[in-house]
Amino acid sequence: MKQFALILLVATAISGCSTLKLVKLLKQGDVEQPSFTAEIPFEMRMGLVVVKVNIKGKDYDFLVDTGAPNLVSKELAAELNLEAKVEQKAGDSQGKKEVLQFAEMPEMLIGGVHFIEMGAAIADLKHSNEIACLDVDGFVGANLMKEAVWQFDYERKVITVSNNSSAFEIPADAYRIPFTPATSSTPLIDITYDGVTDKRVTFDTGSNGFFNSSPAIRKTLQSSGKLANPVIGVGSSSSGLYGMGDRDSTYIAKIAETKMGNLTIPEQVVSFDLGARTLGTKFLRHYRVIIDWSVSEIILIPTDEFVNNKLENFGISPFCNEDRLEVRLVSLGSEADNLGIKLGDRILEVNGNNTRVFTKEMWCDVLYDGLVPEGDTMMTLLIEREGENLKVQLHKKDLLKP
């Protein structure tokens, strides 16, 4: 499945006045109950956490996203008659920027915990096909989450929210990672890759990826000889609030040692591109995760053994372009590359299944389930390029293996 990230970066300024008003709006808010502990069941959609939020007696589906402030869809904002208090240019995970309105949410009831007077962005959640496939009404963001201690139990699919960290069972050998809160209260952590530190990385429950770093960190690692034989993908394989990222080169490599706080992990696959620098749920779901804004600390408690030292795929990423299924990324040196598949090639068939007219519903199915079932190691594509058809057979391989 394609990796994509959902992140709002609100630090880009329009004017001093607008920024100060926005900061004040994002800092405000409270919890009505002085003492509380609540368990909230969640479901996973495309690797992301979605919960029920009750507003004025009606339930809505919200993504829980530490990488963003509270956010509501334009439709929900109209339904609630929210009045914009400030406008601010905000960038998504792909660096695209648009002006968003921000309003005050009078109330949000989550698992019986009553959050009041929280700031929230208003955005078109149908602008991006990928975000639309999540089918959510908004985001529970970091500026709300900062008012409590949050535990994500991915095994049980339950979030626990409490006013006190003593409500959680924390073993003595738990891993502890300090963080710095951003303007929106998003946790920013330092991650060290083979001795090179990437500072203020977004700890992001709104990204369904592993480790994502920057070209600058990649160049430093390469210059010191610590980044051998990276896989280079040309195109784009990620999406943010405003749509797919622009064409670029993504480098993916295996890092011998990755450190965060007192946690050291061997052999992690890390991607390096122009998108947001994040740590996402493909990593986090192997831990019980506790985030405590009162002491600016993240606690990770392992729940299973996992290995992240392979890059197994077919060497391409697809993309829905209007009613066409197209190739959006090709990994150089892969079987797909060697067979001549190029960016923009139209995919007419997948294993004999007709994709000539490709609907948004079909694209959502691909995002949830992949082009082929997870266990398949081979697929046959019928490609159209400049009026000619080409049938290719691709095998799933570990692209990092020499």
Domain boundary residue, one of 250, 281, 302: 302
Q: 342 exposed, middle or buried (CB, 10 Å; 0-12, 13-18, 19+)?
A: middle
Residue keyed to tokens 């939020």: 53
> Same domain for 126 and 236?
no
Query: Would you say residue 122 has pLDDT above 70?
Result: yes
> Same domain for 288 and 372?
no
pLDDT given at position 62: 98
What's the mean pLDDT in 297-304?
A: 97
Element (H, E) at 349: strand 346-350
Strand stretches in 194-315, DSSP E: 196-203, 211-213, 231-235, 239-240, 243-244, 248-260, 263-272, 278-279, 287-292, 297-302, 312-313
Exposure string over 109-144, b if 16+ CB within 10 A, otherwise e: bbbebebbebbbbbbebeebbbbebbebbbbbbbbb
pLDDT tens readout for residues 174-195: 999 999 999 899 999 999 999 9
Range with lowest mean pLDDT among 95-104, 187-196, 236-245: 236-245
What's the mean pLDDT in 52-74?
A: 96
Which CATH number do you get for residue 265?
A: 2.40.70.10
Q: Does residue 45 sit within a domain?
A: yes
Range with lowest mean pLDDT among 77-91, 93-107, 210-224, 268-282: 93-107
> Same domain for 286 and 209?
yes
Q: Which amino acid is at 389?
A: N
What's the mean pLDDT in 62-77?
A: 96
pLDDT tens readout for residues 330-376: 999 999 999 999 999 999 999 999 999 999 999 999 999 999 998 89
> Same domain for 110 and 226?
no
Residue keyed to tokens 């891993």: 175
pLDDT given at position 297: 98
> Same domain for 68 and 182?
no
> Same domain for 294 and 231?
yes
Which CATH number do you get for residue 389?
A: 2.30.42.10
Distance, CA of 255 to CA of 205 (rounded, Å): 22
Q: Does residue 78 sit within a domain?
A: yes
> Same domain for 140 and 277?
no
Q: Does residue 267 sit within a domain?
A: yes
> Same domain for 136 and 276?
no
Q: Does residue 190 sit within a domain?
A: yes
Residue keyed to tokens 């990770």: 300
What's the mean pLDDT in 19-37?
A: 93
Domain boundary residue, one of 167, 183, 206: 167
Query: Would you say residue 12 has pLDDT above 50?
Result: no
pLDDT given at position 371: 93
> Same domain for 203 and 298?
yes
What's the mean pLDDT in 290-300?
A: 98
Q: Does residue 11 sit within a domain?
A: no
Contact 4, 208 (CB under 8 A): yes
Distance, CA of 391 to CA of 384 (rounded, Å): 9
Range with lowest mean pLDDT among 34-38, 124-128, 344-348: 124-128
Distance, CA of 240 to CA of 6 (rounded, Å): 5
Per-chain mean pLDDT for the chain: 90
> Same domain for 109 and 179?
no
User: Among residues of the chain, what percentage have pLDDT more than 90?
Assistant: 78
What's the mean pLDDT in 295-322?
A: 93
Model confidence band, residue 244 (pLDDT cutoffs 50, 70, 90): low
pLDDT given at position 130: 85
Q: 16 exposed, middle or buried (CB, 10 Å; 0-12, 13-18, 19+)?
A: exposed
Contact 133, 46 (CB under 8 A): yes
What's the mean pLDDT in 13-38?
A: 81
Strand 239-240 to strand 243-244: parallel, antiparallel, or no bridges (unpaired)? antiparallel
pLDDT greater at residue 97 or residue 140: 140
Q: Does residue 307 sit within a domain?
A: no
> Same domain for 91 and 181?
no
Query: Would you say residue 399 has pLDDT above 50?
Result: yes
Domain boundary residue, one of 275, 302, 329: 302
* Maximum Cα interatomic distance, the chain, rounded to a whole number of Å: 68
Query: Would you say residue 269 has pLDDT above 60?
Result: yes
Residues whose CB is less than 8 angstroms from the CB of residue 49 and which lie 6 or more positions away in sequence, other chains included: 42, 43, 63, 64, 152, 159, 205, 281
Q: Which amino acid is at 186?
A: T
> Same domain for 390 and 320?
yes
Long-range contacts of 334-339 (CB under 8 A, 24+ apart): 334/231, 334/397, 334/399, 335/394, 335/395, 335/397, 336/392, 336/394, 339/392, 339/394
Q: Does residue 3 sit within a domain?
A: no
Number of domains in the chain: 3
Query: Would you say residue 1 has pLDDT above 90?
Result: no
Q: Does residue 243 sit within a domain?
A: yes
Query: Would you say residue 237 has pLDDT above 80?
Result: no
Torsion of CA 93, 97, 100, 105, to 10 degrees: 10
Distance, CA of 329 to CA of 234 (rounded, Å): 5
Model confidence band, residue 102 (pLDDT cutoffs 50, 70, 90): very high
Residue ranges making up the domain that contains 58 = 16-167
Beta bridge partners of 112: none
Contact 210, 272 (CB under 8 A): no
pLDDT greater at residue 376 or residue 236: 376
